Structure 1
Amino acid sequence: MSRRGALALSVSAATVAALLGASSSVASAAQPADPPRAAGSAVAAAEARTARSFAASLADPAWRAQVRSAALSSHDVDLAALTARSTTSAGRALASQVAAADRRIATAKGLDKSIGSLLRLRLGTQAMAGRLRPGTLPLVAAAITDDQAATLTAYDAQGRGHALNTRVAPRQAVYVVDIDVAKAAAAGMKLVSRALDAAGVASDTITRATPAVPARTGAARPADAGGYWATKMDAVYLNDDEEPWPLGDAEIYSLVSGFGQDGNVRVDSVDMPYLDNDHHTYYPGQLVINWSNFKYNALDLVMMESDSGTNYQQLAIALADALLTITDNGAYQPLVDAILNAIPSAWYSNDDDYVDSWYTITEQESGTIHGARGNGWMTIEPYWVSAL
């Protein structure tokens, strides 16, 4: 199964879990379905309104051809850019609506409006490209907000709603209106780090990089003080990245947490924008832990799959409230209970899906380690990162 543009970050295992077809598969509804407002989600409502309007706009042949060309040439099409540069009246008429929806989504996610466009358009699956022939009138659906849902509503150019099976992709072409979760999550985790720092919980975002100097397992710490030990992920594999076809590629992130050098809880995040699909081995060669940030020789790592509804301001507040109550007792301790108790139960539905967790990873640990859930594995090794 394909998953949305991947993204991964690192924090405490407990921390993460807490944080957070055939023509017969398309059945016309008797009446046009209203845009979904599941759990009062402003993101879902904005996506659904945009999908319905976009479907109606495809009645214009010239605009439909322009959209088709864009969808076949790019996996994700920036809707703001597409409508702004349109030479058709139908495309230009959508521009202001898309811009307004982008602003509503940014606000709902607790992000600054300077983030720019978030709405994207893509084909539901890669196989649909062959069915998107000239003159074809595709359906348009909004990405589902509940990944346990059995159906989603797609709209045709006449405004009629059609129920699609979320587990079996239809044989006809379907455009999916979604947000750029990778872009939103990257901005959101930076926001969370800043908010945690401001609240007194140390936090950092580690960008993807390959260290220059490898260290051998069990090697002594180099005398050169201008560097640090890190854990590098050489390979990673997931059995199930927790996403049905309407949601596309996965946005995986991990959270690594423990006690900082000052004895207070800290949370670091690691950007992993490549982990798109399950049942596929990736070889990122990526740092996932900077041990100089932590006091003890044991940390937990939890992987999550990020969905579109997360409000990062609320996430930062919930994490800070939970973590600031935990004190250093002189040894490694799990942070799961406090975090799980702090996170609203609604966040467990689709905002973030638990993928797997790795407990008590140590500084010099090397080799393949399997997740506690049995849903994935990763191969790691210690690395000494030297200062330039």
Structure 2
Amino acid sequence: MAVSLSHPTRLLASTVGALTVTAGLMIAPAHAAPATTTAPADSVAAVTDRIAARLASEFADEARQTGLLSATSTDPVPLARAAEGTALGRAVRDADREVLEAKGLPQDGTSLLTVRLAHADMVDALRRGTAPLVASSPADDAPTTVTAYDHTGRRIALAADRVPRRPVYLVEVDTATALAKGTQVLRSTLSQRGLSPAAARAAVTPASGYWATQLTSIRLDDDHEPWHKGDAEIFTITAGFGLDGKVKVDTTQLPYLDEDGRTYYPNQLLVHFSDYKYNLADIVMMEEDGGTNYRDLALALTRALLTIVDGGAYIPLVDAIINALPDGWWTDDPDYVDSWYTLSTSTGGTLRGAAGNGTMTVAPYWVAPL
């Protein structure tokens, strides 16, 4: 899912030279300068682009033999399925290590790279024998073209706003796994700097109980989803003042929130007020878009929030969190989706986000003692 941003981001530019439009496919003529990318060589975007080029050309036969390039399904296939001891297998392992580094995640052997058929409408063309292309999702949130590769390694520019007639496989990051590991990095880093509420929550005794905010329904506005973007993973950053007067930050995953324009009914606990000195907290909703560097995000939040001092009255923290987010990451920005100010223990009803992109219904929830 691609969620349009209300928060300004620095977009990466790409140069593809003159293009010729043919049957819904934009192909760079032979005399044109090859398409280039501004993504740094050690970014997620650069890694996925290199793997896409190699899957299209030198590793094409091996990729088909190992079942990486499914001809009938748009479900992602882990690239780690590549045969061990082969050149393709070694290339995938190296690429996975680079992706983990670029995302600020531990080098624990996790494989994040996947490949999928970009759109279900491409299945018929594959069955007719049309030679597929391989691409990676652009780093830019609003690209005009997507760079793909054919079996010779030639770069072909595809229109980003319409589904190509030629089949395309997309190399991507498994954002669900990345988010699960990334939130662990965020919590660990924030905890080391005294910004995590985990200790306060653990101190709540079974005999006391506490108030929480329950998320009963949520909906994000229907944004026109480009063909080259898969489901995104949504998470929230919740902040308030802890019992010690320091800002406390927690993260929550919303793994069910796959589609814009659809209402979900999770009944999920979103804010735990046992964590906070005041009965108020703020929420910022973000989207993991493939290139989020969680180590950098945690450090940016730390630098911004450690300077905020409790003055005896609640201070909204949404602006501080948003201002802490770097203008540009190595690839896709961790997209700002929306924010909600000063939720309290008594907040209930339907709440429209400050950015106008999300609507959620919440209710006070008493977490009873055991």
Q: If the TM-score is normalised by the length of the shorter chain, which range does it land in?
A: 0.7 to 0.9
Question: Residues 147 and 243 of structure 1 are in contact (CA less than 8 Å); yes or no, is this contact kept in structure 2?
Answer: no
| Structure 1 residues 279-294: aligned runs within 5 Å | 279-294=261-276
Between the aligned partners of 2:330 and 2:101, the Cα distance in structure 1 is 21
* Deviations 1:150-173 (CA, angstroms, capped at 9, x unpaired): 111011112111111212121332
Q: Which runs of 5+ in 1 are unaligned?
A: 5-15, 206-222
Aligned to 1:97: 91
Q: CA deviation at 1:245?
A: 2.6
Distance 2:241 2:190 in 1: 14
Q: TM-score, normalised by structure 2?
A: 0.84
| 1:113 aligns to 2:107 (yes or no) | yes
Q: CA deviation at 1:194?
A: 0.7
Measured in 2, the distance between the counterparts of 1:17 and 1:201 equals: 26
The CA deviation at 1:176 is 0.6
1:255/1:302 contact within 8 Å kept = yes
RMSD of the alignment, in Å? Answer: 3.0
2:253 equivalent to 1:259: no
Q: Which amino acid aligns with 2:56?
A: A
CA distance in 1, matches of 2:246, 2:302: 12
Residues 100 and 242 of structure 1: is their aligned pair in 2 closer, same or farther, counting only changes over 3 Å?
Answer: farther
Following the alignment from structure 1 to structure 2, what is the Cα–Cα distance between the partners of residues 260 and 316? 18
Query: How far off is 1:42 after superposition?
Result: 1.8
Q: In the alignment, is the contact (CA less than 8 A) between 1:240 and 1:355 conserved in 2?
A: no
1:181 aligns with 2:175: yes
Which of 351, 360, 363 is residue 381 of structure 1 equivalent to? 363
Can you list the C-alpha shifts for 1:208-237, whole angstroms capped at 9, x where unaligned?
A: xxxxxxxxxxxxxxx973432221111111
Relative to 1, partners in 2 of residues 1:343 and 1:365: Cα closer, same or farther, differing over 3 Å? closer
Shift of 1:298: 1.9
User: Quick one: distance in 2 between partners of 1:110 and 1:311?
Assistant: 5
The 1:48/1:343 distance shift into structure 2, 3 A limit, reads same
Equivalent residue for 1:126, pick from 116, 120, 130: 120
The TM-score, its normalising length taken from structure 1, stands at 0.81
Q: Is the partner of 2:279 in helix, strand or coil?
A: coil
C-alpha distance in 2 between matches for 1:61 and 1:201? 48
State how many pairs are aligned. 349
Asked if structure 1 preserves the Cα contact closer than 8 Å seen for 2:292 and 2:333, the reply is: yes
Alpha-carbon offset, residue 55 of structure 1: 0.9
Corresponding residue number in structure 1 for 2:13:
none
Q: Distance in 2 between matches of 1:360 and 1:17?
A: 23
Larger fraction in helix: 1
Identity of aligned residues (%): 46
Residue identity in the other structure for 2:244: D
User: Within 2, Cα distance between the matches of 1:200 and 1:161?
Assistant: 49
Retained in 1: the 8 A contact 2:301–2:321?
yes
Q: Report the Cα distance in structure 2 between the residues aligned to 1:62 and 1:168, rounded to whole angstroms.
A: 26
RCO higher in structure (CA 8 A, sep ≥6): 1
Amino acid at match of 2:83: A
Q: Is the 8 A contact 1:61 1:135 kept in 2?
A: no
Matched, 1:143 2:125: no
How far the C-alpha of 1:375 sits from its partner, in A, is 1.4
* Displacement after TM superposition at 1:198 (Å): 0.7
Separation in 1 of the partners of 2:83 and 2:361? 45
Distance of aligned partners of 1:96 and 1:61 in 2 relative to their CA distance in 1, 3 Å threshold: closer
Please give the alpha-carbon distance, in whole angstroms, between the structure 2 residues aligned to 1:282 and 1:199: 35
Aligned residue for 1:358, secondary structure, equals strand
1:318 corresponds, among 300, 307, 315, to 300
Q: 1:67 aligns to what?
A: 68
Q: Which AA in structure 2 matches 1:24? A: A
Q: What is the 5 A alignment of 1:147-158? A: 147-158=141-152
CA distance in 1, matches of 2:46, 2:222: 28
Q: Is the 8 A contact 2:291 2:331 kept in 1?
A: no
- State how 1:186-265 maps to structure 2 within 5 Å: 186-204=180-198, 225-240=207-222, 244-265=226-247
- Matched-pair contact (CA < 8 Å) for 1:257–1:267: yes
- The answer for unaligned runs of 5 or more in structure 2 is 10-20, 200-204
Give the structure 1 partner of residue 12 of structure 2: none
Q: Tell me, yes or no, if the aligned pair for 1:237 and 1:279 is still in contact at 8 Å.
A: yes
Instruction: Please say if 1:79 is aligned against 2:79.
Output: yes
- Confirm or deny: 8 A CA contact 1:257 1:301 kept in the other structure: yes
Taking the aligned partners of 2:114 and 2:36, their CA distance within structure 1 comes to 17
Pick the aligned partner of 2:165 from 167, 171, 180.
171
Taking structure 1 as reference, are residues 93 and 119 closer, same or farther at Cα in structure 2, changes over 3 Å only? same
In the alignment, the residues of structure 1 paired with residue 192 and residue 108 of structure 2 have an alpha-carbon distance, to the nearest angstrom, of 21
Distance 1:118 1:140, change over 3 A: same
**What displacement does 1:93 show?**
3.2
**Which residue type is aligned with residue 318 of structure 1?**
A
Are the counterparts in 1 of residues 66 and 83 from structure 2 also a CA contact under 8 Å?
Answer: no
